[in-house]
Amino acid sequence: MIDVVGIGDDGWAGLDAGRRGLVERAVTLIGGRRHLDLLAPHAPAAELVDWPSPLRPALPDLLRAHPDAVVLASGDPLRSGIATTLIDLVGTDRVRVHPHVGSHALARARQGWSAEEVFVVTTVGRDLRAVLPHLSPGARLVVLLSDGDAPAALAALLTERGWGATMLTARWHLGGPEEGARAERADAFAGATPPLVLACLDVRADDPASAARTAGPVPGRPEDFIDHDGQLTKRDVRASALARLRPAPGDHLWDLGAGNGSVALEWCLAADRAGATCVERDPTRAARITANAAALGLSGRVEVLVADTTTTDLTTLRPADAVFVGGGLEPDLLESAWSSLRPGGRLVAHAVTLEGEAALVALADRTAGELTRLSVERAVELGRFRSWTPARTVTQLAATRTTTEDPT
């Protein structure tokens, strides 16, 4: 059994009797050097083992060598912590977690913010842009940071993206004897802080009207929310597709014939931890999807494959909860995508040609899918007046898999 003991910045003084007993009786203590230094005097018989680097590849051998170790971790070890990795490797039956009050909880207490109104974002070892999907006027975020340079870097990012009016409160060494804080607007925050720091964000936009165009999880953002070459699903049709794809937390989408990635990216923005695999045959567009994902703070959640959708072996992809087919529509592709879905999986496909529409009708007949024709007109200037200009009509198929067997 592996015991994972959460400790605070106050070290031994902050541990209750139960966690102190685990440390005192430990044969092996595994942790970061700071944690080991804090508690080593109280475990004189224990072998002290630093985390290896790189960590994950070395963990199986380390755990085999020390099957009953006491592992030291910061705060709540299941909040972006080592306990999550250990449970993933050896299972819940072999790991006991003894949490301390996490730094995010201490930060909320100092701010007077309730848990219900705060979202916690970790950027430890990750791109700071991971905070971007969670920005909206009035949002309150606790952002876990890697080091003392990160608060100023986060402030610069917020200012660059139009959120310079945000009040950023950096808090360091929470719960310890060296605890401190500094609060400034993001566009005025500069300079390093002590390490072991996080940031509390009371989010405010420099231009609320502009921020409202893209804020929030609801799909249908203007086309310029990403960089593109014109090959993307337009906002009204995109909103309709995503309404039927039904993104949910942790769900995964295949975007087959992804163009510049507008559907996949809005899928990810619509639900926490939602991810996507984009298949796009044009290398320039595929690279643009990757760049767009990074710019939106979605790196790590969007995988891009440069391939022809008609020849891609879908069985090699991460299993999908939903599939969108917006380009390169072929009957064989539709059949393959549909048969790859598990019960409850959703498929949405668009066609603008008669041949593509025929393929959708054929699949709709077999799947009891819903067929919809989407015709959108926009008012444009016509001399001194305005006139309606229609976009190309799109035929949409939306179907939900109810069984693993194809209907006959």
Domain 217-400 has CATH 3.40.50.150: yes
pLDDT of residue 229: 92
pLDDT of residue 212: 82
pLDDT of residue 405: 54
272 CB-near residues (< 8 Å, 6+ apart): 249, 250
pLDDT of residue 327: 65
Question: What does the domain layout of the chain look like in residue ranges?
Answer: 2-101, 104-210, 217-400
pLDDT of residue 264: 97
Smallest CA-to-CA distance from 236 within 381, 373, 374 is with 374
Q: Which residues of the chain have pLDDT under 70?
A: 327-328, 404-408
Q: Do 26 and 68 touch, CB atoms closer than 8 A?
A: no
247 CB-near residues (< 8 Å, 6+ apart): 253, 267, 268, 270, 271, 274, 322
> Strands, DSSP E only, in 186-315?
197-202, 252-256, 275-280, 302-306
Q: Which two tokens stand for residue 64?
A: 């085999």
pLDDT of residue 407: 44
pLDDT in tens, 341-371: 999 999 999 999 999 999 999 999 999 999 9
Q: Do 28 and 51 touch, CB atoms closer than 8 A?
A: no
* Second-level CATH architecture of 2-101: 3-Layer(aba) Sandwich (3.40)
CATH number at 104-210: 3.30.950.10
CA 173 to chain centre: 27
